[in-house]
């Protein structure tokens, strides 16, 4: 009875803290199942926990990129298999296994043009990931009660396609334009306007279909909303009028989505402070070399698929057999049977002739 009361009170507390949207649906759903990030309540070491959570997300991105390289080397992997391997690595390194930041998204090819990936399979489904795919990997860890939210995009095998390269650099450069203004007092909407103007100038204005970013903490989507408008089709929040505050943790994540072809999103995490900001994901690459996965990026001995010569099993006989081969085999078997039948009589004659 006491546990039920505690669960109810906690759910009420969470709901009261939430914006009037479904932004924290994961947290509420877990609370209703009796799962909590920590048994003693929200932990006070927010910034240190977020830093460690971002470190786990960086591990997840490195694992995801290496799995995509495996695809380039011949491995047959689905979006779900790659997402599961990412989750395993983050949990092994300390991410909360019962209360994830959110479901890891691995969205390849046309699925990448959907901001949250395959909608019927929680962001990572049965689609096989193929060489040549542009792939969006969006993930986060949770340490104590605090989350991270980090996205990188990759192209398996590299590309010379002008549209893909232009879209990637438009997103990359739009991020860079906002970084100097991430500080306490900057209106949340202003950062979106800066990034959106650049993407529009590059010809992709209609393909940037969500806000520039959002706050995060215990929930993966919290105020402030970094949006130039009052409506946001991705997160449903409406807190874009408030200025950044020195206790905020925010994402910067412009994206471009070409329906039926590919999507590109780059998402980095920041802590806003009195001096400006702390760039939490600065050590996780996001340049073109990181985007384009090549065969020589990793040690070939790490490939999951053995060389083709090792895959073929030796055969004792050619197959399929033709009529001539079958007749020859039947004759050989008959001759061998006759010789084996004569062997006892031959051995007896030898013994009788012995001195």
Tens of pLDDT along the chain (355 residues) come to 454 434 344 434 443 443 333 346 556 666 666 666 665 567 788 999 999 999 999 999 999 999 999 999 999 999 999 999 999 999 999 999 988 999 999 999 999 999 999 999 999 999 999 999 999 999 999 999 899 999 999 999 999 999 999 999 999 999 999 999 999 999 999 999 999 999 999 999 999 999 999 999 998 998 898 988 654 444 455 556 789 999 999 999 999 999 999 999 999 999 999 889 999 999 999 999 999 999 999 999 999 865 554 444 444 434 444 555 555 545 555 655 555 555 454 344 334 444 4
Q: Given CATH 3.30.70.3270, say whether it is the number of domain 45-302.
A: no
Q: Specify which residues 276 forms β-bridges with.
A: 273
DSSP reduced 3-state for 324: helix
224, 240 contact by CB (below 8 A): yes
Verify cis geometry, omega within 30 degrees of 0, for the bond prior to 22: no
User: How many helices (H) and strands (E) are present in the chain, helices listed first?
Assistant: 9, 13
Q: What is the pTM of this model?
A: 0.78
Question: CA distances (Å), 229 to each of 171, 253, 269, 288, in order?
Answer: 19, 16, 22, 31
- Residue 171 to residue 183: CA distance in whole angstroms: 21
Among candidate residues 140, 143, 148, 137, the one with its CA nearest the CA of residue 216: 148
| Residue found by looking up tokens 């507390």 in the block | 13
């Amino acid at each position: 009875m006491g546990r039920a009361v505690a669960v109810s009170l906690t759910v009420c507390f969470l709901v009261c803290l939430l914006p009037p949207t479904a932004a924290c649906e994961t947290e509420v759903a877990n609370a209703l199942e009796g799962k909590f990030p920590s048994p003693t309540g929200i932990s006070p070491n927010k910034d240190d926990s977020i830093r460690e959570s971002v470190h786990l997300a960086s591990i997840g991105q490195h694992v995801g990129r290496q799995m995509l390289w495996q695809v380039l080397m011949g491995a047959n992997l689905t979006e779900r298999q790659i997402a599961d391997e990412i989750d395993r690595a983050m949990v092994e390194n300390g991410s909360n296994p019962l209360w994830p930041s959110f479901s890891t998204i691995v969205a390849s090819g046309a699925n990448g043009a959907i901001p949250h990936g395959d909608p019927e399979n929680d962001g990572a489904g049965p689609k096989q990931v193929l060489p040549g795919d542009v792939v969006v990997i969006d993930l986060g860890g949770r340490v104590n009660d605090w989350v991270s939210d980090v996205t990188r995009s990759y192209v398996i095998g590299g590309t010379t396609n002008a549209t893909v390269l232009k879209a990637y650099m438009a997103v990359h450069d739009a991020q860079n334009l906002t970084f100097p203004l991430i500080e306490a007092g900057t209106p949340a909407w202003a950062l979106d306007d800066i990034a959106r103007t650049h993407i529009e100038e590059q010809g992709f204005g209609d393909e940037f279909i969500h806000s520039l970013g959002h706050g995060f903490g215990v929930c993966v989507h919290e105020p402030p909303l970094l949006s130039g408008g009052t409506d946001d089709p991705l997160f449903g929040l409406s807190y874009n009028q408030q200025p950044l505050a020195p206790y905020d943790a925010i994402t910067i994540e412009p994206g471009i989505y070409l329906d039926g072809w590919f999507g590109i999103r780059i998402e980095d995490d920041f802590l806003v402070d009195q001096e400006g900001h702390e760039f939490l994901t600065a050590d996780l690459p996001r340049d073109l070399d990181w985007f384009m996965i090549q065969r020589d990026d990793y040690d070939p001995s790490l490939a999951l698929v053995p060389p083709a010569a090792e895959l073929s099993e030796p055969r004792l006989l050619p197959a399929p057999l033709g009529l001539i081969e079958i007749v020859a085999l039947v004759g050989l078997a008959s001759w061998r049977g006759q010789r084996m039948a004569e062997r006892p009589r031959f051995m007896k004659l030898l013994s009788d002739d012995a001195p």
